[in-house]
Structure 1
Amino acid sequence: MVRTTDLENNNFEQGVNYISETAYKFLSKSKVYGGEIIMNKIGSAGKIYLMPCLKRPVSLGMNAFMLRLNENMNTLFAYFYLTTKFGVWQISKRVKGAVTKTIRKDAVRAIPIIVPPINLQNQFAEKIGLIEQQKKLAKQELQESEDLFNCLLQKAFKGELFSHP
């Protein structure tokens, strides 16, 4: 069972909650496969997440909504729209409660969303996909550079960088 804490920490391995196969089958409406938009109901109410593909059966925890979109909406476009300053502001206007913040389904349904033609939304999603690939590659290259630097640093401290005649 994926909880918003798991999504917030991007941790789907340690300290996760499991449910029985019977419960998983019973909770058919809360099955998630990856790519869904998830919204926190309580606590950090209105916080938006994009569900990663975990390649195993997963059900959504109790304190979250899965936003189901119609065929006129690209999920990635909607996710980025809802995480803009305007989207966050629209959501925060609908969050209630002084101590424990909550948001209800009807409030979520009332959030205005612009709906450009689906081909433009799909183009946006493709560009985002390319950017995400470039970011992943850049992170990998940065890690490799840091590993190389640390290796050279160790050799320098041990006096192994220069050969002595």
Structure 2
Amino acid sequence: MFGNPVTNPMGWEVQKLKSLSTKILSGNTPKGGSQVYVDKGIIFFRSQNIWKNRIELDDVAYIDEQTHWKMSQTSVKNRDILITKTGRINTENSSLGRAALFLGEDDSANINGHVYLVRLKKGFIHEFVLYILITDEYRDYIREVCVGGIDKRQINKEHLEEFPIIMPPIDLQQRFADYVRQIDKLKSKMQQELKDLESNFQALLQKAFKGELKVKDGVAV
């Protein structure tokens, strides 16, 4: 539909990421490091929470509101794009340059120094820009421009600001975004159904091993 977003064989207009954005910043490690984490509070995203087009909360940290507001410049807003800053380049699941869209409430999260926040200007299609950033072609591009050693690298802010983003007509971008939203809804529904199925299966196992499971006409009851 759009072609290679890096080589741009279809000749789309190209803009730099900084020209699409009102803010591009990486976070900070709060004074005291992990010692200031709390059991409940403001979500504090680290690189292990940001994956390709998804945010994982299994290993998420929390900070209190006082710490959060001391770092107010990187308070996350709904539909901000989060991008990981560092990682190894020779692994399939490298944390370098992974990107996801934050869909939570404004100011309910913050980021550490290994994550960038990109806040787009009004009028740009977040899902489309995110799609560009998570393509395989863009992954290779990021690995070329990042800096560091033979294995572990990082994306400098200056490089991130200069990322080229193709700009097809806005109606094409919107059609793509609508399609992505439909697919995401379907995925969420299927994931919930799988979760429910697994829960029911585990319940049946518990009954079976406790001797509580009864079978009638070949069906567990």
TM-score range, shorter chain: 0.7 to 0.9
- Show the counterpart of 2:115: 64
2:97 paired with 1:46: yes
Distance 1:71 1:56 in 2: 18
Matched, 1:34 2:78: yes
Structure 1: 5+ residue runs without aligned partners? none
Q: TM-score, normalised by structure 2?
A: 0.60
Looking at structure 1, the residues matched to 179 and 106 of structure 2 have their Cα atoms a distance apart, in angstroms, of 24
Q: Which deviates more, 49-58 or 146-155?
A: 146-155
**Which has a greater percent of helix?**
1
Q: For CA contacts below 8 A with separation 6 or more, give which structure has more relative contact order.
A: 2
Please report the RMSD computed on the Cα atoms of aligned residues, expressed in angstroms. 2.9
**Distance in 1 between residues matched to 2:69 and 2:196, nearest whole Å:** 43
Partner of 1:97: 148
In the alignment, which of 125, 140, 147 is matched to residue 177 of structure 2? 125
- The structural deviation recorded for 1:57 is 2.7
Shift of 1:129: 1.1
Between the aligned residues of both structures, percent identity stands at 25
More divergent stretch after superposition (92-101 vs 53-62): 53-62
Structure 1 Cα separation of the partners of residues 117 and 60 of structure 2: 22
| Structure 2 gaps, min length 5 | 1-43, 88-94
Asked if the contact 2:82–2:100 (Cα under 8 Å) also holds between the matched residues in 1, the reply is yes
Q: How big is the shift at 1:123?
A: 2.0
Query: Which secondary structure state, in structure 2, belongs to the residue aligned with residue 113 of structure 1?
Result: strand
Residue 162 of structure 1 is matched in structure 2 by 216
Aligned residues: 161
Distance 1:64 1:52 in 2: 16
Cα deviation, residue 73, structure 1: 2.5
In structure 1, the partner of 2:56 is 10
Q: Distance in 1 between matches of 2:208 and 2:70?
A: 61
- Range 58-67 or range 73-82, more displaced: 58-67
Question: How far, CA to CA, are the matches of 1:37 and 1:4 in structure 2?
Answer: 13
Aligned equivalents of 1:2 and 1:148: distance in 2? 32
Moved more, 139-148 or 76-85: 139-148
- Name whichever structure is richer in strand by fraction: 2
